[in-house]
Amino acid sequence: MVKFNKILSIVGFSCLVNIAHAERVLNVYTTSNYIADSTIEKFQQNCKCRLALSYFGDPQEMAAKIAAGATGYDVIIGTGYAIQDLYKMGKLDTIRLPQISALTNVDSKFLHQSFDPQNAFSVPYAYTMTVAGYNKTKLDKLGIVPDTWAVFFDEKYLKKLQGHVTVFDSQRNVYAAALLYLGKDPNSTNPNDLALVRKVIEKASRYWARYDSTTYYRSLLNGDVWLAMSYSNDLFNALQDAKKAKLNYQLAGMVQKEGNMIELDNLVIPVAAKDKQLAYQFINQVLQPRSAYDLSQETGASVPNAKAVSMLSRQLTNYSWIYPRRDQKIYGFTAYPPKTRILINEVWTELKMECH
């Protein structure tokens, strides 16, 4: 009996030791290549924990997953129009701003956005612009300057580019670009505008190679794609890889005269987060000027951190498709009303089935 009790004591002590030394893990849901490696290393050292990253390809994919009840994330990095709906559904926690001392590093013009006027549930992290990435060598030979969204939708250009154009597998981005091409509000919910967009896409899609939000930059690099709807940070990385590969053609990026969409990505904490204390520690870490600098310098993401931007190389900040000029036309996404969202999702599915 004494031996049995001793065994129980040893087992119990062992369990307590294991619990005491259980690894703390912070689960972050984000897009790929959106946290600098140096920031990950520094955070893990400071918190004596492990950062576990999960990835999504499109903001609507993320929103749909969380809305459907997915849990297991402590921090999500998501676009404004997507997280707005999640907060209304009760999926996101109210942010305790006094716990975010590093918020003072965020440029005030990025705070109090229309999707969260009081920053009740979100804190700005970084932003990307949707622009044209292209094979400059090829387009120069064809006499095409991609300074207009017409290059993606007008047959005058597409006949020369047939089979070598990609657009995002994202109805929000493609609809916004088509609306800008038509001279409309990129967030329009007017049924007549949306009907026009459908016709434009139906006509143009026969010339497109595919809908692609994830691998298009590789196709730009290998020369298969000459023109791609691109995220600014993906394009930046493609240009860096092109230099290393010493390609015999030049890749470039360009903004469009009708205007470009910006996706402001934000840090949010799900209601179901398991370690909110660690979540706040992470948010304070990534909002530090050095973390923001590393993110932008390493990945080409644009950061809403004035001190970090002042530290960046002139080469990076000179890209108007990464850090826009004051005279550029820039638009942000707003959330669709439920009826519009359902309608466009249905039409988008039909359009993709019709493609080719």
- Predicted confidence at residue 355, as pLDDT, reads 63
User: Contact 356/285 with Cβ under 8 angstroms?
Assistant: no
- Predicted confidence at residue 78, as pLDDT, reads 95
Instruction: With respect to residue 117, please indicate whether it lies within any of the assigned structural domains.
Output: yes
- Asked whether residue 36 falls in the same domain as residue 115, the answer is yes
Instruction: With respect to residue 140, please indicate whether it lies within any of the assigned structural domains.
Output: yes
Instruction: With respect to residue 180, please indicate whether it lies within any of the assigned structural domains.
Output: yes
- Asked whether residue 287 falls in the same domain as residue 206, the answer is no
- Asked whether residue 347 falls in the same domain as residue 238, the answer is yes
Among 212, 192, 214, 194, which residue's Cα sits nearest to residue 202?
Answer: 194
CA distances to 52, 197, 278 from 205, in Å = 38, 12, 46
- Quick: pLDDT tens for 150-204: 999 999 999 999 999 999 999 999 999 999 999 999 999 999 999 999 999 999 9
Instruction: With respect to residue 102, please indicate whether it lies within any of the assigned structural domains.
Output: yes
Q: Distance between CA atoms of 169 and 209, rounded to whole angstroms?
A: 12
Q: Is the pLDDT of residue 235 over 50?
A: yes
Residues of the domain holding 94: 26-124+275-319
- Asked whether residue 161 falls in the same domain as residue 282, the answer is no
User: Contact 235/321 with Cβ under 8 angstroms?
Assistant: yes
Instruction: With respect to residue 11, please indicate whether it lies within any of the assigned structural domains.
Output: no
- Asked whether residue 242 falls in the same domain as residue 151, the answer is yes
> How many domains does the structure of the chain reveal?
2
- Quick: pLDDT tens for 40-87: 999 999 999 999 999 998 888 999 999 999 999 999 999 998 999 999
CATH assignment at residue 166: 3.40.190.10
Q: Grade residue 21 by pLDDT with cuts at 50, 70 and 90.
A: low
Q: Is the pLDDT of residue 5 over 60?
A: no
Instruction: With respect to residue 296, please indicate whether it lies within any of the assigned structural domains.
Output: yes
- Predicted confidence at residue 37, as pLDDT, reads 94
Q: Distance between CA atoms of 53 and 99, rounded to whole angstroms?
A: 23
- Asked whether residue 116 falls in the same domain as residue 235, the answer is no
- Residue 195, classified by CB atoms within 10 Å of its CB into exposed (0-12), middle (13-18) or buried (19+), is exposed
Please give the average per-residue pLDDT across 117-126, as a whole number: 97
- Quick: pLDDT tens for 246-279: 999 999 999 999 999 999 999 999 999 999 999 9
pTM score: 0.87
Q: Is the pLDDT of residue 356 over 60?
A: no
- Predicted confidence at residue 22, as pLDDT, reads 73
Q: Is the pLDDT of residue 11 over 90?
A: no
- Asked whether residue 220 falls in the same domain as residue 346, the answer is yes
Q: Distance between CA atoms of 66 and 83, rounded to whole angstroms?
A: 10
Structure-token pair, residue 306: 């004035």
Among 352, 130, 140, 322, which residue's Cα sits nearest to residue 226?
Answer: 140
- Asked whether residue 343 falls in the same domain as residue 211, the answer is yes
Residues paired with 43 in a beta bridge: none
- Asked whether residue 155 falls in the same domain as residue 200, the answer is yes
State the chain's mean pLDDT as an integer. 93
- Asked whether residue 217 falls in the same domain as residue 188, the answer is yes
- Asked whether residue 245 falls in the same domain as residue 343, the answer is yes
Q: Is the pLDDT of residue 1 over 90?
A: no
Instruction: With respect to residue 4, please indicate whether it lies within any of the assigned structural domains.
Output: no
Instruction: With respect to residue 226, please indicate whether it lies within any of the assigned structural domains.
Output: yes
- Asked whether residue 197 falls in the same domain as residue 166, the answer is yes
CA distances to 157, 163, 166, 205, 280 from 160, in Å = 6, 9, 14, 14, 51
Among 295, 344, 355, 309, which residue's Cα sits nearest to residue 81?
Answer: 344
